[in-house]
Structure formats: C-alpha cells, structure tokens
Chain A
Amino acid sequence: MDGRLNAGTGATAARPNPGGRSLHRFANPGRFLRATGRLMPILWAAALLVLGVGLVWGLVLSPADWQQGETVRIMYVHVPMAWLAMGGYTGLAVLSVMSLIWRHPLADLTARELSPVGAAVTALCLATGSLWGKPMWGTWWVWDARLTSVLVLFFLWLGHASLVRSFDDPERGARAGAILALVGFVNVPIVKFSVDWWNTLHQPASVTRLNAPGMHVDILYPLLVCALGFTLLFAAVVLARTRAAVMERRVRALQLARARREEGAAA
C-alpha cells in the first residue's frame, strides 16, 4: 500500500491512468486530493448549515412529547448517532471488501481514518441513550439484545481502530482490519433487528418501519434534518482525516527521498 500511494508523490503525480476503471481512478493520491479539496469547503458549509437548522428546530422549536416531556430532545442526537454507527460500519465493510478484493490503497487508508470516528459516534449513541434511559426506563443500562449488540458494535470499532495500527507493515494491518470488519458485519443486522426478533426493553423502530412512522411530523422532520446534518459532518470529518493521512504519507515519502539523496551525496 505504501509503495503505491507514494508512487504518485513525485513530479509524475498527475500522470493520467489511461486504462483506469472508475474504482481505481481515485487510487491516485494526487487526483484524490484535488477532487476532495474542491469538495471540502462545500461539505463543511453544508454540514454546519443543515446541523444548525436541525438542532435549533429540534432542541428549541419542536414540541415536547406527551409523556416523555422535554427528555424527548435527547433523541435528536441519539438517533442520528445510532444511524451513523450502523451506516458508518456498513461503509467500513464496503471499504474492507474493496481492500481485500481489489487491493485498493485508498480504501485501506479511509478505513483506518473512519474507525476512530465511528467509535466516537457509537460512544455518543450509548451515552445519550443511557442519559435518556435513567429518567424514562428507570435505569442507566440493561443487558437487553439491542443495548448489548450496540456495545459489541462499539468494541468492533475500537478493535478495528487498534488492530490496523498495531502492525509494523501498514498493509498487513489493513488486511487484518478488513477481515475483522467483515466478520463483525454480522452484528449490524443483529443491532437493527434485535428489537423485532426478541423482546427488549428498547422500543422498536419508529421511523424505518413498514407502516406509517410512529412519530408526529413536528418531531419527525427536525429529526430527519438533524440526521442529515450529522451525516454531512461525519463525512466531512472522515474525508478531512483521510486527506490529512494522504498528505502525511507524501511528506514522509519526500523526507525519505531527500534523506536518501543526502546520504548518496555524502558517500
């Protein structure tokens, strides 16, 4: 992975890839940096705008719930975090497939930068859920199928983040991480359907169900806006981290090249 990423660091960075199929077009780090460089300001602006609107709508303007009262507002953070924890992990699984089958170097790098953000989002989901559970259920935590499977998801994120960083050879770390991520993917449908397959203390889905959402539109719409805002923010953070990682590798490769040149001149 290192070698291929660094191959584009010299003056030949912009060399077009004539036979490049769409997937590998962005394996060229120079092209990736240029394309995402234009995208980043738009993404940050959209994330902050949508999130600002969603949070003001949800936390201030939307109505309370008839029996939860104001505590319902925790949901405007909790539910987007839960969706991102599962959606982000699905993204990690897709990146892992790309890494294992097509040996796509940028997929490895993105997966490495994605997992700490995914762990943070899952931790926020667990923490906000616990804060809601104490006043509503009467307990911070129970070992029901939904809560336990989300805790397992959190450990999978942490495990992936530490596994890919624990090898001297980053390519071997990426391979091991990809296998862990794909094995752990069985947990995602378990998280999603735990509330339908078994009886749990956690309530079933309100929004993504076959009949009409069990949520009044004055609560549902701000929730959807918050979810979109948090998703944009998540994407912006992960992309910014990936760009930084690509640039870090370029700097390291240039330093290495210069050190070799100086060594050669001294000899």
Chain B
Amino acid sequence: MTRKKRRLMILLLAGLGLGTATALTLTAFQDNLVFFLSPSDVLAQRPPGERAFRLGGLVEAGSVERHTGADGRPSATFRVTDGPSAITVTYSGVLPDLFREGQGVVTLGKLQPDGSFRASEVLARHDETYMPPEVADALRRAGHWNPAQGAAPPAASWNTAPRQPEGRSGG
C-alpha cells in the first residue's frame, strides 16, 4: 500500500513539474505560436518590409476589386480588417472558393513601403458556423444577417430553426 502511494506521489509530482514546464514554455513562445497577425498587431509592431509574415482578418465589405492582368492572370485588391484597423492587400493568383466579403482570410506576404500588403498566398478561413442554405437564406431575408458584414448572429437564435420556413412564398 505504501509503495503504491509512493508511486502515486511520484507520478503526481512528475505530472505537476511537466505541466508547469510546458505551460511556461508555451507562454514564452506565445509570439511564435500564432499563425497570423491581425491588422492591429501589424500596425502596432510594424514588421520590417523584408520579413514575410501572415496577416489575417475579415475581408472588409465592399472593398474587393478583381482585375485581370495583361497576361490573363487574375489579381485582386481587398482590405483585411479586424474591426479597429484595416490593411489593403494586393494579390495576383486564383482566390480560394470560400473567398468572399465578410469571410475570414489568412494571407502570406510582405509589407510594402506604402503600408499595403503584397500577398503571395491567400487562404480562406472557415468559422465555426455550420448552417443549411435554407436557414442562411431565411436569416438574410429577415435582415438578421448580412454575411458580407461578418459573423453569423448568436447560434441560439438559429440553430434549431426549421429548414422549411412557413413564410417561404411570402418572404
């Protein structure tokens, strides 16, 4: 019995030590563990222009301009925002299917001297909302949600909504 208790104590102490060490390490490397910087982070830190980093946020409503270059390559200019700040991003290449106004994106590139961000890669970031098309349509028709303006309303207001609303013809 005492041997078992001693083994239990050793295990608990080792676990406590390991947990503390891990927590301290993760806290120390906090800055390196984030996948992207928000526009506010970038404006506060001003990373040097030669360093490539990832910028993430929502695509600002009404900011997307798509062009086609002389060589037929598509390119786009849009603003990435986190609410308080926004940064203009230029990108030439094919945007992912999920890319739209109000969608989360993570872009990889370098800050230009004029303060804009030249991206070499754009990834769409899906949020934690899973919604059938009928429910999304109903929310939009009722004016409860404009996807271009950002995240969906609180889940409790729609996650049990019927998929075939009775006011379908009238709406």
A: which residues have CB within 8 A of B? Answer: 63-68, 72, 75, 97, 100-102, 135-139, 142, 144-145, 182-183, 186, 190, 197-201, 203-206, 209, 211-220
Contact = CB atoms under 8 A, between A and B. Distances in A.
Nearest to B147: A67
Main secondary structure, interface of B, reads: mixed
Contact of A201 (B11, B30, B33, B123): B123
B118 interface: no
A150 to B, nearest CB: 14
B155 A212 contact: yes
Contacts, number: 134
B160 interface: yes
B8 interface: yes
Contacts of B148: none
Band of interface residues on B = 35 or more
Contacts of A211: 154-156
Interface of B: 4, 7-8, 11, 14-15, 18-19, 22, 26, 30, 33-36, 38, 56, 96-98, 100, 106, 121-137, 152, 154-156, 158-161, 163
B124 to A, nearest CB: 6
A214 B159 contact: yes
Contact of B26 (A97, A190, A209, A219): A190
A216 B132 contact: yes
Contacts of A137: 96, 98, 123-126
Query: Most chain-A CB neighbours within 10 Å: which of B8, B121, B131?
Result: B131
Contact of A136 (B22, B98, B131, B132): B98
